[in-house]
Amino acid sequence: MAAEPQSSSSRSIVSIPPLTTEEEDQVILARITNDDRPLKRVIKKFHNYTSLSHAPLAPTIGTTTDQSLDDAREAFLVELATFQLSLKKSVMICEAEARQVEEYQRERHEIEREHAVLREQIDQLKAALEEAQIIRRRKIEYDLVAEKVNTLPSREELEHSINSLECDMAAIRTEHETHNRTLVDQKASLDSIITQLDYLRFMGKDKDVASVDTSRVPTPAPDSAGPDVVEDPPEATPPIATEVAQNEREEGEHDKGAPDSTEASGTGVDEDDIEMGEVEEDPKPKRKFREELEEGEASDASSALSDPPDDI
Protein backbone atom coordinates (compact mmCIF):
# COMPACT_ATOMS: atom_id res chain seq x y z
CA MET A 1 0.00 0.00 0.00
CA ALA A 2 2.94 2.33 0.73
CA ALA A 3 4.47 1.59 -2.67
CA GLU A 4 1.43 2.76 -4.55
CA PRO A 5 1.63 6.39 -3.22
CA GLN A 6 5.31 6.49 -4.10
CA SER A 7 4.65 5.37 -7.68
CA SER A 8 1.82 7.86 -8.04
CA SER A 9 4.06 10.70 -6.82
CA SER A 10 6.79 9.69 -9.26
CA ARG A 11 4.29 9.58 -12.08
CA SER A 12 2.99 13.01 -11.13
CA ILE A 13 6.54 14.42 -11.20
CA VAL A 14 7.15 13.41 -14.90
CA SER A 15 5.80 16.18 -17.24
CA ILE A 16 5.53 16.08 -21.03
CA PRO A 17 6.79 19.29 -22.71
CA PRO A 18 4.28 21.00 -24.96
CA LEU A 19 4.68 20.78 -28.73
CA THR A 20 5.99 23.74 -30.59
CA THR A 21 4.10 25.39 -33.39
CA GLU A 22 6.18 23.73 -36.07
CA GLU A 23 5.75 20.29 -34.49
CA GLU A 24 2.01 20.79 -34.28
CA ASP A 25 1.95 21.75 -37.93
CA GLN A 26 3.90 18.64 -38.86
CA VAL A 27 1.56 16.41 -36.83
CA ILE A 28 -1.47 17.99 -38.43
CA LEU A 29 0.04 17.63 -41.92
CA ALA A 30 0.89 13.95 -41.25
CA ARG A 31 -2.61 13.23 -40.04
CA ILE A 32 -4.09 14.96 -43.07
CA THR A 33 -1.86 13.24 -45.59
CA ASN A 34 -1.68 9.82 -43.86
CA ASP A 35 -4.98 8.72 -42.43
CA ASP A 36 -4.13 5.88 -39.96
CA ARG A 37 -7.64 5.31 -38.70
CA PRO A 38 -8.29 2.34 -41.03
CA LEU A 39 -5.05 0.75 -39.86
CA LYS A 40 -6.03 1.26 -36.25
CA ARG A 41 -9.40 -0.32 -36.88
CA VAL A 42 -7.74 -3.30 -38.56
CA ILE A 43 -5.38 -3.70 -35.60
CA LYS A 44 -8.26 -3.44 -33.19
CA LYS A 45 -10.25 -6.09 -35.06
CA PHE A 46 -7.18 -8.27 -35.23
CA HIS A 47 -6.63 -8.04 -31.46
CA ASN A 48 -10.27 -8.75 -30.87
CA TYR A 49 -10.14 -11.80 -33.09
CA THR A 50 -6.94 -13.12 -31.46
CA SER A 51 -8.33 -12.58 -28.00
CA LEU A 52 -11.38 -14.63 -28.92
CA SER A 53 -9.52 -17.37 -30.75
CA HIS A 54 -7.16 -18.11 -27.92
CA ALA A 55 -9.12 -19.13 -24.81
CA PRO A 56 -7.81 -17.84 -21.45
CA LEU A 57 -6.36 -20.25 -18.87
CA ALA A 58 -8.96 -19.34 -16.32
CA PRO A 59 -12.43 -19.19 -17.76
CA THR A 60 -14.41 -16.21 -16.85
CA ILE A 61 -18.03 -15.64 -16.48
CA GLY A 62 -19.76 -14.74 -19.67
CA THR A 63 -17.26 -16.19 -22.16
CA THR A 64 -17.98 -15.96 -25.88
CA THR A 65 -19.13 -18.79 -27.97
CA ASP A 66 -18.14 -19.97 -31.42
CA GLN A 67 -20.72 -17.57 -32.83
CA SER A 68 -18.86 -14.55 -31.50
CA LEU A 69 -15.57 -15.92 -32.78
CA ASP A 70 -16.93 -16.20 -36.28
CA ASP A 71 -18.30 -12.69 -36.06
CA ALA A 72 -14.97 -11.38 -34.92
CA ARG A 73 -13.22 -13.17 -37.77
CA GLU A 74 -15.67 -11.81 -40.31
CA ALA A 75 -15.36 -8.34 -38.92
CA PHE A 76 -11.56 -8.61 -39.14
CA LEU A 77 -11.71 -9.83 -42.73
CA VAL A 78 -14.11 -7.06 -43.71
CA GLU A 79 -11.94 -4.48 -42.06
CA LEU A 80 -8.88 -5.96 -43.76
CA ALA A 81 -10.57 -5.86 -47.15
CA THR A 82 -11.57 -2.26 -46.50
CA PHE A 83 -7.97 -1.44 -45.62
CA GLN A 84 -6.78 -3.17 -48.79
CA LEU A 85 -9.22 -1.11 -50.81
CA SER A 86 -7.98 2.06 -49.15
CA LEU A 87 -4.41 1.03 -49.93
CA LYS A 88 -5.31 0.34 -53.58
CA LYS A 89 -7.06 3.68 -53.67
CA SER A 90 -3.95 5.38 -52.30
CA VAL A 91 -1.82 3.56 -54.88
CA MET A 92 -4.17 4.68 -57.64
CA ILE A 93 -4.04 8.22 -56.30
CA CYS A 94 -0.23 8.11 -56.28
CA GLU A 95 -0.16 6.80 -59.84
CA ALA A 96 -2.61 9.47 -60.92
CA GLU A 97 -0.52 12.10 -59.22
CA ALA A 98 2.58 10.74 -60.98
CA ARG A 99 0.75 10.87 -64.29
CA GLN A 100 -0.34 14.39 -63.46
CA VAL A 101 3.28 15.32 -62.67
CA GLU A 102 4.40 13.87 -65.97
CA GLU A 103 1.61 15.69 -67.74
CA TYR A 104 2.62 18.86 -65.97
CA GLN A 105 6.24 18.39 -67.01
CA ARG A 106 5.18 17.73 -70.58
CA GLU A 107 2.97 20.78 -70.60
CA ARG A 108 5.75 22.84 -69.09
CA HIS A 109 8.17 21.74 -71.81
CA GLU A 110 5.51 22.47 -74.41
CA ILE A 111 4.91 25.90 -72.92
CA GLU A 112 8.64 26.61 -72.90
CA ARG A 113 8.90 25.50 -76.51
CA GLU A 114 5.96 27.68 -77.49
CA HIS A 115 7.49 30.53 -75.51
CA ALA A 116 10.74 30.22 -77.49
CA VAL A 117 8.79 30.03 -80.76
CA LEU A 118 6.74 33.07 -79.80
CA ARG A 119 9.90 34.95 -78.80
CA GLU A 120 11.41 34.21 -82.22
CA GLN A 121 8.20 35.30 -83.89
CA ILE A 122 8.23 38.52 -81.85
CA ASP A 123 11.81 39.21 -82.95
CA GLN A 124 10.86 38.53 -86.56
CA LEU A 125 7.81 40.77 -86.24
CA LYS A 126 9.97 43.54 -84.75
CA ALA A 127 12.38 43.29 -87.69
CA ALA A 128 9.45 43.25 -90.13
CA LEU A 129 7.94 46.28 -88.37
CA GLU A 130 11.21 48.21 -88.60
CA GLU A 131 11.52 47.30 -92.29
CA ALA A 132 7.92 48.33 -92.90
CA GLN A 133 8.54 51.66 -91.14
CA ILE A 134 11.63 52.25 -93.30
CA ILE A 135 9.65 51.38 -96.45
CA ARG A 136 6.83 53.68 -95.38
CA ARG A 137 9.25 56.53 -94.68
CA ARG A 138 10.93 56.00 -98.06
CA LYS A 139 7.54 55.89 -99.74
CA ILE A 140 6.58 59.21 -98.13
CA GLU A 141 9.88 60.74 -99.30
CA TYR A 142 9.32 59.27 -102.78
CA ASP A 143 5.82 60.74 -102.86
CA LEU A 144 7.20 64.17 -101.93
CA VAL A 145 9.90 63.95 -104.61
CA ALA A 146 7.39 62.67 -107.16
CA GLU A 147 5.06 65.55 -106.33
CA LYS A 148 7.87 68.04 -106.84
CA VAL A 149 8.89 66.32 -110.09
CA ASN A 150 5.31 66.39 -111.34
CA THR A 151 5.18 70.13 -110.77
CA LEU A 152 8.19 70.56 -113.09
CA PRO A 153 7.75 70.66 -116.89
CA SER A 154 8.45 67.61 -119.02
CA ARG A 155 11.85 66.70 -120.43
CA GLU A 156 10.87 67.80 -123.95
CA GLU A 157 9.73 71.19 -122.70
CA LEU A 158 12.94 71.62 -120.72
CA GLU A 159 15.05 70.64 -123.75
CA HIS A 160 13.06 73.05 -125.91
CA SER A 161 13.50 75.87 -123.38
CA ILE A 162 17.24 75.09 -123.07
CA ASN A 163 17.64 75.13 -126.85
CA SER A 164 15.74 78.43 -127.09
CA LEU A 165 17.91 79.90 -124.34
CA GLU A 166 21.06 78.71 -126.10
CA CYS A 167 19.83 80.27 -129.35
CA ASP A 168 19.07 83.53 -127.51
CA MET A 169 22.53 83.46 -125.94
CA ALA A 170 24.16 82.84 -129.33
CA ALA A 171 22.14 85.71 -130.83
CA ILE A 172 23.11 87.95 -127.92
CA ARG A 173 26.78 87.03 -128.38
CA THR A 174 26.57 87.72 -132.12
CA GLU A 175 24.81 91.03 -131.47
CA HIS A 176 27.39 91.91 -128.85
CA GLU A 177 30.23 91.15 -131.27
CA THR A 178 28.46 93.21 -133.95
CA HIS A 179 28.06 96.11 -131.53
CA ASN A 180 31.71 95.82 -130.58
CA ARG A 181 32.80 95.91 -134.24
CA THR A 182 30.44 98.81 -134.90
CA LEU A 183 31.84 100.69 -131.90
CA VAL A 184 35.38 100.01 -133.08
CA ASP A 185 34.53 101.22 -136.60
CA GLN A 186 32.76 104.29 -135.21
CA LYS A 187 35.72 104.99 -132.99
CA ALA A 188 38.07 104.77 -135.96
CA SER A 189 35.76 107.02 -137.99
CA LEU A 190 35.52 109.53 -135.15
CA ASP A 191 39.28 109.52 -134.78
CA SER A 192 39.72 110.18 -138.50
CA ILE A 193 37.07 112.93 -138.42
CA ILE A 194 38.69 114.56 -135.41
CA THR A 195 42.08 114.38 -137.12
CA GLN A 196 40.67 115.94 -140.27
CA LEU A 197 38.95 118.66 -138.21
CA ASP A 198 42.25 119.41 -136.54
CA TYR A 199 43.90 119.61 -139.94
CA LEU A 200 41.16 121.95 -141.16
CA ARG A 201 41.53 124.13 -138.10
CA PHE A 202 45.27 124.31 -138.54
CA MET A 203 44.84 125.01 -142.25
CA GLY A 204 42.42 127.89 -141.49
CA LYS A 205 44.91 129.41 -139.10
CA ASP A 206 47.71 129.05 -141.64
CA LYS A 207 45.53 130.66 -144.32
CA ASP A 208 44.80 133.56 -141.97
CA VAL A 209 48.50 134.00 -141.31
CA ALA A 210 49.32 133.76 -145.03
CA SER A 211 46.62 136.32 -145.99
CA VAL A 212 47.92 138.69 -143.35
CA ASP A 213 51.51 138.32 -144.60
CA THR A 214 50.57 138.83 -148.27
CA SER A 215 48.40 141.86 -147.56
CA ARG A 216 51.04 143.51 -145.44
CA VAL A 217 52.39 146.66 -147.21
CA PRO A 218 55.70 148.34 -146.20
CA THR A 219 55.19 151.75 -144.68
CA PRO A 220 57.76 154.55 -144.45
CA ALA A 221 59.69 154.50 -141.28
CA PRO A 222 59.26 157.41 -138.97
CA ASP A 223 61.85 160.16 -138.98
CA SER A 224 63.11 159.13 -135.62
CA ALA A 225 63.80 155.66 -136.86
CA GLY A 226 67.22 154.88 -138.04
CA PRO A 227 68.34 153.26 -141.23
CA ASP A 228 68.93 149.99 -139.37
CA VAL A 229 65.20 149.10 -139.28
CA VAL A 230 64.54 145.95 -141.36
CA GLU A 231 61.10 144.68 -142.31
CA ASP A 232 60.09 141.11 -141.57
CA PRO A 233 59.90 138.96 -144.69
CA PRO A 234 56.59 137.23 -145.39
CA GLU A 235 56.33 133.76 -143.92
CA ALA A 236 56.02 130.85 -146.26
CA THR A 237 52.93 128.69 -146.20
CA PRO A 238 53.70 125.25 -144.74
CA PRO A 239 53.27 122.24 -146.98
CA ILE A 240 50.70 120.69 -144.62
CA ALA A 241 48.24 123.46 -145.54
CA THR A 242 48.06 122.15 -149.11
CA GLU A 243 47.30 118.61 -147.83
CA VAL A 244 44.54 119.91 -145.60
CA ALA A 245 43.13 121.92 -148.51
CA GLN A 246 42.98 118.78 -150.63
CA ASN A 247 41.15 116.92 -147.83
CA GLU A 248 38.80 119.84 -147.55
CA ARG A 249 37.95 119.70 -151.23
CA GLU A 250 37.26 115.99 -150.89
CA GLU A 251 35.00 116.57 -147.87
CA GLY A 252 32.73 119.06 -149.69
CA GLU A 253 32.26 122.63 -150.64
CA HIS A 254 30.48 123.60 -147.41
CA ASP A 255 33.70 123.30 -145.41
CA LYS A 256 35.44 125.88 -147.66
CA GLY A 257 32.98 128.75 -147.14
CA ALA A 258 33.75 129.33 -143.49
CA PRO A 259 37.53 129.65 -143.88
CA ASP A 260 37.12 131.95 -146.93
CA SER A 261 34.78 134.29 -145.06
CA THR A 262 37.15 134.21 -142.15
CA GLU A 263 40.04 135.03 -144.45
CA ALA A 264 38.14 137.94 -146.03
CA SER A 265 37.17 139.45 -142.72
CA GLY A 266 40.63 138.90 -141.35
CA THR A 267 42.21 140.45 -144.43
CA GLY A 268 39.99 143.53 -144.22
CA VAL A 269 40.82 144.07 -140.60
CA ASP A 270 44.51 143.53 -141.25
CA GLU A 271 44.47 146.00 -144.16
CA ASP A 272 42.82 148.60 -141.91
CA ASP A 273 45.51 148.03 -139.32
CA ILE A 274 48.26 148.28 -141.90
CA GLU A 275 46.86 151.48 -143.36
CA MET A 276 47.04 153.04 -139.93
CA GLY A 277 50.78 152.48 -140.03
CA GLU A 278 50.86 149.66 -137.49
CA VAL A 279 52.98 146.62 -137.90
CA GLU A 280 51.14 143.39 -137.14
CA GLU A 281 52.94 140.75 -135.21
CA ASP A 282 51.98 137.15 -135.16
CA PRO A 283 50.84 135.93 -131.76
CA LYS A 284 53.29 133.71 -130.05
CA PRO A 285 51.03 130.62 -129.85
CA LYS A 286 50.29 130.81 -133.59
CA ARG A 287 53.92 131.31 -134.43
CA LYS A 288 54.94 128.44 -132.24
CA PHE A 289 52.33 126.11 -133.70
CA ARG A 290 53.27 127.15 -137.24
CA GLU A 291 56.90 126.39 -136.51
CA GLU A 292 55.91 122.96 -135.34
CA LEU A 293 53.92 122.43 -138.54
CA GLU A 294 56.88 123.58 -140.60
CA GLU A 295 58.99 120.93 -138.96
CA GLY A 296 56.47 118.31 -140.28
CA GLU A 297 54.95 117.15 -136.98
CA ALA A 298 51.27 116.15 -136.95
CA SER A 299 48.92 117.16 -134.18
CA ASP A 300 47.87 114.48 -131.72
CA ALA A 301 45.11 116.56 -130.18
CA SER A 302 42.11 114.55 -129.07
CA SER A 303 38.66 115.41 -127.89
CA ALA A 304 35.89 113.80 -125.85
CA LEU A 305 34.57 112.11 -128.98
CA SER A 306 37.84 110.25 -129.61
CA ASP A 307 37.75 108.42 -126.28
CA PRO A 308 36.05 105.01 -126.60
CA PRO A 309 33.19 104.16 -124.28
CA ASP A 310 34.05 102.29 -121.09
CA ASP A 311 31.75 99.32 -121.70
CA ILE A 312 33.52 98.06 -124.89
- Each domain of the chain, given as residue ranges in start order, spans 22-54+65-121, 190-216+235-294
Integer Cα distance of 42 and 83 in angstroms = 7
∠ Cα 275 278 282 (to 5°): 115
Total-model pTM: 0.33
Cβ atoms of 75 and 48 within 8 Å: the answer is: yes
Residues 17-35: tens digit of each pLDDT? 888 888 888 888 777 776 6
Give the H or E element holding residue 45: helix 37-53
Residues 263-277: tens digit of each pLDDT? 444 444 444 444 444
- Residue 105 burial by CB count (10 A; 0-12/13-18/19+): exposed, middle or buried? exposed
Residues 76-122: tens digit of each pLDDT? 888 888 888 888 888 898 899 899 999 999 999 999 999 999 999 99
∠ Cα 17 21 22 (to 5°): 105
Integer Cα distance of 102 and 109 in angstroms = 10
